[in-house]
Amino acid sequence: MPMRPSLLPAESLKIRISEVLSALCADVTLLRPNNLSLSASAVLLPVGLDRQHRPCIVFNKRSDRVRQPGDLCFPGGSPEPRIDSLLAALLRLPGSPLRRWPHFISWRNRGGQNLPKLTRMLAAGLRESFEEMRLNPFSVHFLGPLPAQKLVTFHRIIHPMAAWVDGFPRYRPNWEVERVVRIRIEDLMDPCRYRRYRIVYAPAVAEKRGRPFDEFPAYRHRGRRGSELLWGATFRITAAFLELIFGFTIPDPSALPLVEGRLDESYYGNRL
């Protein structure tokens, strides 16, 4: 039976997440691409409390000025060699989010050869979080890496890094982000909120993909500013987090209510 996150005090929840993620094998969390066309990127999965002190996950809603507009996502992107190398060096110093991680020493001793990549991916995720939503990178508590996700369409491997955000920070989204969306973890564990998302492709996209539509599991969030649909890689990262930490498995997609959407070439930019 899935664990109820609201029954755990914040400190106990942080400890549980950190213990579970620290035990994951680096071969799962820090994938080495076996295809040279795949590039690596990182995202930060921010966890914290809402104003009612309920555990939640923080998402960004992508603005109309970027690829995949309107999607819910986590802050992140590709590493910037110069600035992220500097930030990675700072993360190795005492007092940094990485060094404050209770499992840093045991993780380093177990998989020290993977430490440079972990540091680089965490640096990229923290930097992008500051750029996209002004999250102070040294005010978060690193909780550990999640299983990496491959994006075939965008030729990318995403490395999610979970982090705890204290308090109720006032985020200031940049031009890439329409707004910040907080979703309670208990709501994410409500099977009635899940959907089967059928994406009908515009003719040009259907021709390139070789089919008129695809179907994906999705989560429908109803907030004060309307309805949002969580799907794709961000959905997979969230689902992995919920299963690992709380034992929650998403419902069988074939039995879920159907919702439809339409995508054209502008959604993908020039990646098709």
Task: Provide mean pLDDT across the span 44-58.
Answer: 95
Is the pLDDT at 163 greater than 70? The verdict is yes
Q: What is the number of domains present in the chain?
A: 1
Query: Where in the sequence is the domain holding 259, given as residue range(s)?
Result: 5-268
Is the pLDDT at 236 greater than 70? The verdict is yes
Encoded amino acid at 136, one letter: N
- Please give the radius of gyration of the chain, using alpha carbons only, rounded to the nearest integer: 18
- For residue range 23-48, list pLDDT tens digits in order: 998 888 887 665 545 688 999 999 99
Q: Residue 134 belongs to a domain with what CATH number?
A: 3.90.79.10
Question: For residue 67, what pLDDT is reported?
Answer: 87
Task: Provide mean pLDDT across the span 123-127.
Answer: 96
Local structure of residue 256 (DSSP, 8 states): S
Question: For residue 175, what pLDDT is reported?
Answer: 95
- Of all residues in the chain, what percent are helix, strand and coil, respectively (each to 5)? 35, 30, 35
Question: For residue 270, what pLDDT is reported?
Answer: 57
What does pLDDT average to over the chain? 91
Q: Write out the two tokens for 184.
A: 């309670």
Which of helix, strand or coil describes residue 211? Answer: coil
Q: Write out the two tokens for 105.
A: 């020493």
Q: Write out the two tokens for 203.
A: 């003719």
In the block, tokens 């001793």 appear at 109
Gap between the Cα atoms of 106 and 26, Å rounded: 13
- For residue range 57-110, list pLDDT tens digits in order: 999 999 999 988 999 999 999 999 899 999 999 999 999 999 999 999 999 998
Largest CA distance in the chain: 55
Say if residues 159 and 39 touch (Cβ distance below 8 Å). no
